[in-house]
Chains A and B, each alone.
Chain A
Amino acid sequence: MIPITYNVRSVVQRPLSTALTALGVGLVVAVFIGMLALANGFRAALAKTGSETNAMVLRKGADSELSSGLGRDVASIIAADPHVATGTDARPLVSPEVYVLIPLTKSFDTTQIANVVVRGISEQAWQVRQNVKITAGQRPTSGRAEVCVGSRLTQRFPHTTVGQTLRFAGRDWSVVCNFTAGGSAFESEIWGENEQFMPVFRGEVFQSITFRLKDPGAFAEAQRSLQADKRMTVDVRRESDFYAQQSQLLSNILNFLAVMITGIMAIGAVFGAINTMYAAISSRAPEIGVLLTLGFKPWTVLVSFLAESAFIAVIGGILGCLFALPLNGIVTSTTNWSSFSEIAFSFRITPLLLSLGLFFAVGMGVLGGFFPALRAARLQVVQALR
């Protein structure tokens, strides 16, 4: 085998050309990682929203909370169901919820209006949703016009921190607390008491009912018994499944874009890499002739040049990872078209994504280096040495 140091030294011999090719590959990898991190962050935010141990009830046929509607009778049937877990105070862990969207003006650009989720919850919701933590202030008191605002909203919308007054639905609401929810979509919501919200929004109707399962393993049974109940027409889903489904449309779009854009980019970059390697090989023909004369087999020449190309690509891949890394954690926001609500989430770069990026870089290198390396391996010694 031709020692790899030969390739490394050759690469270092032409620093500018190596740097340009590596930088090109690096940018492709950075865009690749960045776009997947966007899709990943969005999916992760919604995936974290739903819990495996909770079940969610919507009106049959409704594909989002927005299009659902359930009466008080349904709420009491579910509260009395034996599949529902009970809290420390022996009350069932059920939260019948009002879900509406309200237009709020963004702080940094007042011409931009976002549809923000306002969720009316029951007292139990704070226990049903285990990942919710209050970071400032106290929970809203029952019977008062008070709301709790998710942490992702406070930066982007005015009047959303504790002590301020937020106006919507023609009334003033005092903000009494802020909460985090482990980076989930709940952090982009405003929570208040369901009984307060019903009269000002859609009247005596809930949009969804979420409850904790007594036995998370027995979800299928709970689903069957509730859906078969003749007194109501409902769909029962695991909360985690519901939110996974809500993320599908947009994350499909984002993934499709990532693959499309980086695919086309990668082809362009591979073409460039082929050119660079061909040029490198034709200028080093005499060297290759010497290698072959020394007795190195043509296939080792092939492997050697492939390794060289892959080496340049790996440098590019590492650069790409470094370019992309600062994106991690940056918060961006868009509308989730499945629920029509605005959601803030952060770019999420995982070790898996980084290794995927490196893998992608090596792929480009090998693909770009193959034909030039093949030509190198097939060089006739006499011709090469001339």
Chain B
Amino acid sequence: MKYLRLVVANLGRHKLRTILTILSVALALFLFASLRSVTTTLAATAQFGGARRLVTLNATGLVFPLPLSYVNRIKGMSGVTGVSWANWFGGRYGDGNTFFANFAVDPESYLAMYPEIVLPDSEKQAFIQDRTGALIGKRLISRYGWRLGQNVTLQGTIFPGDWTFTIRGVYTPTDPAVGDDVLIFHHEYFDERIGRAGIVGWYIVEIADASQAPQIAKSIDDMFRNSSSPTKTGTEREFQASFATMWGNVSFLMSTIGLAVVFAILLVTANAMMMSARERTGEIAVLKTVGFSDRLLFVLVLVEAGALALTGAVIGLGGAKLLYPAINFNGAGFLPGFKVTTSTLIVGGLVAVGLMLASGLVPALRAARLPIVQALRHVE
């Protein structure tokens, strides 16, 4: 410990250099943490899904509706404890430059099935009772400055016209994958306005026993196999996962870029650290003359590199950990619940240790092996 002052003094000698080195390490790790979090957040979203919830879609594809008449037939199946339904609306708000998800649901059954959607009971009742009411995620409040009881008009893109809803409730999701930038409204009102077409985008089926999921999914699909709209039923998790894979190779590209970033800055930083170590050849020789052992010098040089790398890591990783929640980041809605996970922090820490070794090991070995006489010859 008594050598700590020596290390600190060495770092303080070129203050600017020390600061720049720390900052470049910090930037590298900040970027690394951010990019890795994109991947982990997408993976977490893909994992979302109540074990007891199934999703039934039209087998032909996502964009095809199912008849509303399926409700009672699904409800009557054994093992099914509840059915709810929803339809994508895709309305546009304002100038259309900002986007949020909005869809029609059957309020009572939907809220019963999604305990992840939390709101005061009074608001819940108000939403259920108002046919033209809407329930919104809390992010929309801060984004558009809406108030409870306010009227909001969406322009329909799939279902033309102006649709005005009254905000009756604001919810907070307990699971980030539910999304806090969603507007939902009454399917009943939706159905009425589109001329009682009786269409449903997807059914959510609640089952009593999660282990029965494959059998129940199969019997739902079997029941509608020969109807005009055959279905495809799967667990909610499978449904979510299929969305996550839609990014295709892009998330792989992100992780490749993350590696390139770390490697690039590592090179530059390691170089700067090695150059500063080389300048001190004479000084190290003097320390050796005074009686510092090879081993001690090896450790001291390595500790110096470690101090730079780890300080940078704390700033960079800590910065990422604190910054994203502070600005409430969700990737414009694409990355709900964006989060820098502990595993990312650990991997980032390991990268910093790697950087310390890569940049410190060569100078440290040189310092330890330095022949005094030769080194001192260069000193004036």
Contact = CB atoms under 8 A, between A and B. Distances in A.
Most A-side CB within 10 Å, residue of B14, B60, B64, B263: B60
B20 A275 contact: yes
B325 to A, nearest CB: 19
A163 B60 CA distance: 23
Interface stretch (B26-34, B133-141, B185-193, B337-345): B26-34
A361 to B, nearest CB: 12
A276 B61 contact: no
Provide the main secondary structure of the chain B interface: helix
Contacts of B246: 114-115, 334-335, 342
Nearest to A320: B264
Given A63-B92, A111-B245, A269-B24, A27 B267 contact: yes
A333 B59 contact: no
B157 interface: yes
B207 interface: no
A172 B60 CA distance: 13
A276 B272 contact: yes
Interface in B55-78: 59-64
Interface stretch (A45-53, A97-105, A126-134, A300-308): A97-105
Contact of B24 (A38, A100, A170, A272): A272
B245 A273 contact: no
Interface in B228-277: 230, 241-242, 245-250, 253, 257, 260-261, 263-265, 267-272, 274-276
B271 A115 contact: no
Interface residues of A, number: 64
Contacts of A115: 61-62, 246
A379 interface: no
A181 interface: no
Contacts of B278: 283
B268 A276 contact: yes
Contact of A265 (B63, B242, B265): B265
Contacts of B270: 20
B245 A169 contact: no
Nearest to B28: A268
Interface string A51-85: 00000000111111011000000000000000000
Given A269-B265, A276-B272, A264 B30 contact: yes
Given A31-B260, A272-B271, A334 B248 contact: yes
Interface in A251-269: 253, 261, 264-265, 267-269
Given A101-B61, A115-B62, A273-B268, A35 B257 contact: yes
Given A61-B156, A100-B61, A271-B21, 5 more contacts: A24-B267, A100-B63, A265-B261, A265-B264, A280-B275
Interface of A: 16-17, 20-21, 23-28, 30-31, 34-35, 38, 59-64, 66-67, 100-103, 111-115, 168-170, 200-202, 233, 253, 261, 264-265, 267-269, 271-276, 278-280, 282-283, 332-335, 337, 340, 342
